[in-house]
Amino acid sequence: MNQHLEHFSRQMQEFSGQQRQFLEIGRNAGRFPSAVARDRASGADTEISVWCSNDYLGMGQHPAVLAAMKEAIDTYGAGSGGSRNIGGTNHYHVLLEKELAALHGKEAALLFTSGYTANDGALSVLAGRAPDTVVYSDRLNHASIIDGLRHSGAQKRIFRHNDAAHLEELIAADSVDRPKLIVLESVYSMSGDIAPIAEIADIAKRYNASTFLDEVHAVGMYGPEGAGIAAREGIADDFSVIMGTLAKGLGTAGGYVAGPAALIDAVRSFSRSFIFTTSLPPAIAAGALAAVRHLRSSEQERESLRTNAQLLHRLLDERRIPFVSPMSHIVSVFVGDDARCREASALLLSRHGIYVQPINAPSVREGEEILRVAPSATHTTTDVEKFAEALDSIWQELDIPRTNH
């Protein structure tokens, strides 16, 4: 073995105690959150209930979505055949971009192959093409935002998480003549808390800053027609660019940005992660289009998700099981210890058939380990009650601290 490979071999041996384990599951279409977990050693299958999926509304199994995807495959085949610039733009891509622009009340939208590449590709252009731009980024912004800003080469200021006063302190210290861009998320993926977007929009107006709002964990779940938190607060027009995903509330795969036509065209023309990659398969675009159209006209899924999240918040409060924030459907149950977090997850699976992935560094900081629980619109009231009971028994057995958030 050469020295390069020896280095990585030693590094992985040292890391083995913290290495993440991936559970192999097969979600049961039509019966989700039911899924089948496969034991890699024996090959045996066990039925489980999934409590950490990002398919929050169950749109990944919705009949309209499945029908649209099957029809698109029968018509156009499996893949797109190329990048968007070279033979890979299908009519479903065009229709979906128009639908997403309309959902957010923006002039245009642009599809990417994932939410990660949407943030990375769009921000590398929006922050990097205007000379001397300074960017103000929330400390807990997603890795894709961090990478996009790094690739942009723009100067960056980090404001404390959800701290509008700190943001204003930073932005006031810079020259009024410099182009400014504020980047934040609406719902934060690990904590589940919601940004003070109205305050931040006001700061942007006062200091003539553009804004980029990541609504990945809000699209479909909040606001009129599922347009997100900014739409819920009636201030979507105050944000220059809205970024979203097709992979969570919409149940498929891909990402997008929506905003003024000139900005979106700049991203289309200069974003490396858009230009130099194969476009989404037509069937994925067709399924996402069906999901957007359904959720623009249906409140049922959002209401079920809201009811389940509120019930779980109440049941955990009653049992004094700490969770980070009651503001959204992401219920991050706080453990604060890597070993106990892993053990709690393992016991939930082995004893109760409940799958919740333990979250450790680098997704959260050491000492802030969580079980990232995500009740879905497809869980029943009984499901939620059984989950709370199971969590309570494991909290007692492992002597995990109980506190009120």
In tens, the pLDDT along 338-348 reads 999 999 999 99
SS3 assignment, position 314 = helix
Is residue 96's pLDDT more than 90? yes
The pLDDT assigned to 20 comes to 65
- Of 70, 106, 205, 248, the active-site residue reads 248
211 or 22, which is more confident: 211
Cis peptide before 131 (omega within 30 of 0): no
Between CA 48 and CA 26 the distance in angstroms is: 10
- Average pLDDT of 247-254? 98
Per-residue model confidence as pLDDT tens digits over 282-306: 999 999 999 999 999 999 999 999 9
Distances (CA, A) of 342 to 296, 356, 397: 39, 10, 14
Between CA 246 and CA 103 the distance in angstroms is: 13
The pLDDT assigned to 403 comes to 79
Between CA 349 and CA 48 the distance in angstroms is: 8
Between CA 66 and CA 71 the distance in angstroms is: 9
The pLDDT assigned to 95 comes to 98
The pLDDT assigned to 383 comes to 98
Q: Which residues pair with 332 in a beta bridge?
A: 372
The pLDDT assigned to 341 comes to 96
The pLDDT assigned to 113 comes to 98
The pLDDT assigned to 295 comes to 98
The pLDDT assigned to 371 comes to 97
Tell me, yes or no, if 248 is annotated catalytic.
yes
Distances (CA, A) of 390 to 99, 264, 356: 42, 47, 12
Range scoring the smallest mean pLDDT among 147-156, 357-366, 379-388: 357-366
The pLDDT assigned to 79 comes to 97
Is residue 405's pLDDT more than 60? no
With bands split at pLDDT 50, 70 and 90, how would you rate the model's confidence at 12?
low
SS3 assignment, position 188 = coil
For the whole model, what pTM was predicted?
0.94
